[in-house]
Homo-oligomer: A and B are copies of this chain.
Amino acid sequence: MAEKLTKQSVDYPRWYQEVVLQAGLADYAPVKGCMIIKPYGYTLWENMQRELDRMFKETGHVNAYFPLLIPESFMKKEAEHVEGFSPELAVVTHAGGKQLEEPYVIRPTSETIIWDTYRKWIQSYRDLPLLINQWANVMRWEMRTRLFLRTTEFLWQEGHTAHATAEEAQDETLRMLEIYRRFAEDYMAVPVITGLKSEREKFAGAVSTYSIEALMGDRKALQAGTSHNLGQNFAKAFDVTFLNAEGEREHVWATSWGVSTRLIGAIVMAHGDDDGLILPPRLAPIQMVVVPIYRSDEEQETTVSAARALVEQLIRAGVRVHLDDRDQLRPGWKYAEWELKGVPIRVELGPRDVANASARLAFRVDREKRDVPLAELPALAQELLDETHRKLFDRALKFREENTFRVDSWEEFQERLDEPGGFLYAHWDGTSETEEAIQNATRATIRCIPLDDDLEDGVCVYSGKPSRRRVIFAKAY
């Protein structure tokens, strides 16, 4: 704390790194590309986990736990999967003082070991659907890492479901995509676009990958969650079949879907400003902080005891509230610290406030100040937090709309991408060659083929060949 943050406009990546470190979300680890998630960041993750887990369970999923280590040979059974993940694997070659006969890899994702297990668990259509989720750590040996956004080890959830029909698997894929969209918008206050990934960007081993895509404060895109229809790829690779109701043996249909601690990076970059984090109230570890203000011992007694009484009432009203009664620090210093940490609402309580039975609120989202009768605050609290959520979401949505462009020429594409950046809706001829050429020329990738967009005839911005619909290009994390 105490150090001034680099301004976003001066050096956005540096601002990001400083705010993550100084706000106490995470720290660097003495292990290449890994991070330590500090208590403040981990509490945010716990709040995210709790809501996601509830949403998964409400849709019939249960949790289980599969091994961290995967026999190396398993990774090779699905051709695209091994190609996609091989370069990133961490390998255990020795254990218990001996060299292993077959090395193990640390899971980069668990499709292979889970589908090897499902072969034993699934015999008949009565065993389906199998709707399992796992909360776990995974490891991908990345070259360039960034706190939360891309770390060698990260925490995530991975759902792995098995179904009797292709239709059910597709329904599940879209159901979980929709849960991710709702979570991003209703809890993170981050508007997202749901869409289909191109062949080149899809998960290694999937038939099709869907994602939620968010726009960050620097106008770059962030893939915030993915849901894969795996078809029968893993069932065939691991020979998982079932007897259907007609007594015929069929391969099982599959999905997998996941979100990770990367979402914390999304929250930081979607909402943060030059003074630090702005946390969405439904996930914030501390929703309100109460700061008593005083100049004399007498005033201290008055304001601190009023603050204590208020905090107790707020706790009873279900608010995650913190009393900052540290005596050695000035109020202004405390304000700056809680702003850095992104606490949605600060409650200032001075002697005059107490005398007036009033509290002065300061909203982190827009710096509005508002006086509220002390007695009414507990009953009002949830509404004020909801109001803050809406403001945050609306601002992020407005920002995205202002930075979304329909571009129809290659010149415009390049110019817009350069300045200001953002989401470019453009026609594309549907080939991986063009996609690659565009990426090589501009570093932009296809974020997704949006689900809610109408078909529209046009010509590819790059090749001039015919196109049936626009897709979204952007520079991305």
Residues of A within 8 A of B (CB): 27, 29-31, 34-39, 42-43, 45-46, 62-71, 74, 86-97, 103-104, 106, 113, 116-117, 120-121, 132, 136-137, 139, 141, 143, 153, 155
Look across to chain B and name the residue whose beta carbon is closest to the beta carbon of A112: B30
Query: A139: which B residues are within 8 A, CB to CB?
Result: 68-69
12 residue pairs of the A-B complex, CB under 8 angstroms, read A27-B117, A29-B67, A31-B70, A45-B65, A68-B106, A88-B96, A89-B97, A90-B94, A90-B96, A91-B92, A92-B106, A93-B93
Q: How far is the CA of A169 from the CA of B36 in the complex (A)?
A: 24
Give the shortest distance, in Å, between A139 (CB) and chain B (any CB).
7
Do residues A89 and B93 form an inter-chain contact, with CB atoms below 8 A? Answer: no
Q: Kindly report how many copies of this chain are found in the complex they form together.
A: 2
Q: How far is the CA of A139 from the CA of B137 in the complex (A)?
A: 13
Give the shortest distance, in Å, between A216 (CB) and chain B (any CB).
24
Do residues A36 and B65 form an inter-chain contact, with CB atoms below 8 A? Answer: yes
Do residues B62 and A37 form an inter-chain contact, with CB atoms below 8 A? Answer: no
Do residues B71 and A104 form an inter-chain contact, with CB atoms below 8 A? Answer: no
Do residues B36 and A66 form an inter-chain contact, with CB atoms below 8 A? Answer: yes
Do residues A141 and B96 form an inter-chain contact, with CB atoms below 8 A? Answer: yes
Give the shortest distance, in Å, between A85 (CB) and chain B (any CB).
11
Q: How far is the CA of A140 from the CA of B116 in the complex (A)?
A: 24
Which residue, of A65, A94, A120, has the highest number of chain B Cβ atoms within 10 A? A65
With contacts A93-B94, A117-B36 taken as known, whether A62 is within 8 angstroms of B43 at the C-beta atoms is yes
Do residues B46 and A116 form an inter-chain contact, with CB atoms below 8 A? Answer: no
Q: How far is the CA of A270 from the CA of B137 in the complex (A)?
A: 32
Query: A88: which B residues are within 8 A, CB to CB?
Result: 96
Contact with A95, one of B36, B42, B90, B136 (Cβ below 8 angstroms):
B90
Do residues B95 and A94 form an inter-chain contact, with CB atoms below 8 A? Answer: no
